[in-house]
Amino acid sequence: MATSKPVLCGPCQIGNNNTEADIWCYNCDEGLCSTCSGHHKRFKGTLNHKTISITSYKPSTKTIKTECDKHGQQLNLYCPSHLMPCCDECISVNHSNCTGIKSLANIIENTKIEKSKESVEEDINSILDLLNQMINNKTTNIQTGEQKCEGIKKSMIKIRQTINKQLDKLEEKLCQEIDRIWNQEKLAAIDFISEIKEKRKNLKEMSKHLHAVVIHTPKLQSFLGVHQIEQQVHQCQRYVDDLEYDDRTNLFNIKMKQNDELEKVLSKLEQ
């Protein structure tokens, strides 16, 4: 069994009796001992419930609340204007001017969870593709920068050999400046990559959780779970959209502009 602690029988716990469960009922969302499961199978209202052996039961990776976080009431209504499940108090306080308020049960009944999951998964994959491309571009950019920096340093060595040892100090100064600028740009690029990788990690975790919430989970929790993940995905989409105006996505370039006085000295040496 996936849990470290034994699952207790829900009905027995109501009677202050901690009996280990033998089966798990997904409809009731609780464990049942052998005695209670016998009653459960014979009762007309529960005989068609979906059950599984407690040894095969794997709890959801994350509990999906069916109550309002603000008011603690059951989520039983749905606002189509804000695409949000609501409780009675939410409607009266925050959605009093919204039209088309519907029963959450009816929305869930008419919603194809698998189709919603596929849509959210497509959004996740689309964002992951964009983030992967940005990481690849920045990684290539770093490699190119490394090569250019090495080329610049070799050029400075040749200049030093051409105009004599008096340029030792100038070479040292220029190397330090090159390293300073490069380290500054490189660290900024690495930090940006780390930020994108963190977003990518979060999206992959959303994708895993998206699969988990629709497997062996009541439809209400599946709907709410997909909805919550969809909101998180929309936040990631806004993050990616904002990157279009973020200067950090621009590819930097390392160049060296030779000093005019140095050009004059080299010209004289070549005469």
Question: For the segment 49-64, what is each residue's pLDDT rounded down to a tens digit?
Answer: 888 888 888 765 555 6
pLDDT score recorded for residue 271: 63
Work out the average pLDDT over 8-19.
87
Is residue 104 within 8 Å of 75, Cβ to Cβ?
yes
pLDDT score recorded for residue 63: 59
17: tokens are 């009796």
pLDDT digits (tens, 9 = 90+) for 225-257: 888 988 999 999 999 999 889 888 888 887 877
265 — pLDDT class (breaks 50, 70, 90) = low
Phi, psi of 195 (to 5 degrees): -65, -45
Residues 6, 9, 12, 14: is their CA dihedral positive or negative? positive
3 — pLDDT class (breaks 50, 70, 90) = very low
Neighbours of 86 (CB within 10 A): 24
Checking if the pLDDT of 164 tops 80, the result is no
Is residue 269 within 8 Å of 163, Cβ to Cβ?
yes
User: What DSSP line would sit under 136-159, residue for residue?
Assistant: HHHHHHHHHHHHHHHHHHHHHHHH
Q: Rounded to the nearest 10 degrees, how much is the dihedral formed by the CA atoms of 97, 84, 201, 144?
A: -40
pLDDT score recorded for residue 130: 94
| Percent of residues in the chain assigned helix, strand, coil, to nearest 5 | 60, 10, 30
Checking if the pLDDT of 112 tops 80, the result is no
Weakest-pLDDT range from 94-98, 145-149, 257-261: 257-261
Work out the average pLDDT over 196-222.
86
Phi, psi of 8 (to 5 degrees): -95, 155
Work out the average pLDDT over 67-81.
85
List, in sequence order, every beta strand (DSSP E) within the chain. Answer: 23-25, 30-32, 51-53, 77-79, 84-86, 102-103
- Residue 209: partners with Cβ closer than 8 Å, 6 or more residues away: 61, 62, 225, 229
Number of H helices, E strands in the chain: 8, 6
pTM equals 0.39
18: tokens are 């901690």
